[in-house]
Structure 1
């Protein structure tokens, strides 16, 4: 249960970590932060997002009731290994990572028995990074996914549901880590792969003065953090490769439809896409 006495520690003050800090501090919660960049900590403190910040923060770790690991995927397990001896008994840990398999089980396998790690994924963001772009409104009407395992307690799941509600998420779902990664491989990673591939198709920079909304909408997420997304793609590569193969098959079907002058099938594809897209406008 989250109360006004709950102390939050955010490890990693990027866009999501900073937006979490902004949302929680606005509601009167005590929020501390650890980040390798002193400039990020100074900015967050000046903006009233956090009470205290440190680049190491052993004391902050000892005081935290809820620790949010808003760091790159490959940094989660090493951070816990290095710092879990400092964490107070019964503290709850969570993350913001876009891939769960290979993280959740590994963390839970090495975690102290008096601590609990429950993974979660805020389906929100921007095409920019850094605490200076923190914006708590990105969570409003967004989706939030909790990915518990059999090692998690009901109380931890309920705590994360309460946490998501506090931040303004409109839809809160519970998936196991494998279901999450299958879903995210399609709705997030494949879409980023398509946007990146579209921008890398020939040299299209000379078209900047001629594009309309359709091109800008399709390629907005091609402004990508190459370090973060390389980790995410490789961690989920088997699922993502299958999604890419399915997409290539569909593109080839559309190409063959044109080559065969099959107007009826082309219209059917358009109608099917339109009907499916309507479901996302609810």
Structure 2
């Protein structure tokens, strides 16, 4: 299999690091940054690299789109002319409804886009932070639509196996975006808001594990996450509203010194958190 990875940042280069040692795969890299391509060649994670997609992607039968979400459709419009008939494309974007359906609508009939989402990442960005083991304990979501064939869905499953992810699941675009709105986007909003509550730099010497754990993801790629939030705006606003309601309820219980209700909330949260330890 010849795999073209479009975008050799943190995730794209991590794909390359995991897949390039596999003898049945040849990895080609496309990136707008020449130095990034040179780094990928020096790391021996791609066979060839270029800033010009037209030079390499015609060699590939699988394309992994490791681009910022709003870059995916323009890339398809500009470059699908170079792709061989039957090529499968896989985007890894963090939101789906407002990305996948518009792209599928303009895609050539002899090409196919199947959306995937490895639930992994790091706070850092760029090829220098890429790691093959980023996938080791990851959940991996396949997000097909009615335009996808069983062949493409099976190819997405096989890629997950090749990445050696922990779990492979299938969700619809709507299910995915609702899930990601709560599990990922809302948690980032909470972490960012917590860090912005006070100018808390003077507290660094006193920080404990709880604060570090809660705010780890407050170190955030502002360009990427602004896009993700806006593309999932309605769902994320609803999740924020539900969180504010839960916070207000806890605040009211505290103000009333309702210790029974506070204990009930503690017990409920403890029991729900245990489910994630499995």
Gaps of 5+ in 1: 1-5
Q: CA deviation at 1:141?
A: 1.8
- 2:262 and 2:84 map into 1 onto residues whose CA distance is 61
- 2:166 and 2:144 map into 1 onto residues whose CA distance is 19
Equivalent in 53, 58, 61 of residue 57 of structure 1:
53
Equivalent in 147, 152, 156 of residue 148 of structure 2:
152
Matching residue of 2:225 = 229
- 1:231 and 1:137 map into 2 onto residues whose CA distance is 26
Asked if residue 200 in structure 1 is aligned to residue 196 in structure 2, the reply is: yes
Asked if residue 25 in structure 1 is aligned to residue 27 in structure 2, the reply is: no
- 1:57 and 1:89 map into 2 onto residues whose CA distance is 16
Q: CA deviation at 1:136?
A: 1.2
Equivalent in 54, 59, 63 of residue 67 of structure 1:
63
Asked if residue 274 in structure 1 is aligned to residue 253 in structure 2, the reply is: no
Equivalent in 81, 104, 110 of residue 85 of structure 1:
81
Helix, strand or coil: the match of 1:94?
A: strand
- 2:165 and 2:84 map into 1 onto residues whose CA distance is 28
* 1:1-282 equivalence runs, <5 A: 6-28=1-23, 29-282=25-278
**For the aligned residues, what is the CA RMSD?**
0.7
Q: CA deviation at 1:39?
A: 1.1
Q: CA deviation at 1:281?
A: 0.8
- 1:107 and 1:63 map into 2 onto residues whose CA distance is 22
Compute the TM-score of the two structures, normalised by the length of structure 1: 0.97
- 1:82 and 1:220 map into 2 onto residues whose CA distance is 37
- 2:196 and 2:109 map into 1 onto residues whose CA distance is 48
Helix, strand or coil: the match of 2:267?
A: helix
What is the CA deviation profile of residues 250-269 of structure 1, one whole-angstrom value per residue up to 9, with x for unaligned ones?
00111011111111111111
Gaps of 5+ in 2: none
Helix, strand or coil: the match of 2:98?
A: coil
- 1:62 and 1:177 map into 2 onto residues whose CA distance is 29
Matching residue of 1:3 = none
Q: Does the CA-based 8 Å contact 2:53-2:79 persist in structure 1?
A: no
Helix, strand or coil: the match of 2:206?
A: coil
- 1:102 and 1:253 map into 2 onto residues whose CA distance is 33
Q: Which runs of 4+ in 1 moved over 4 A?
A: none
Q: CA deviation at 1:57?
A: 3.0
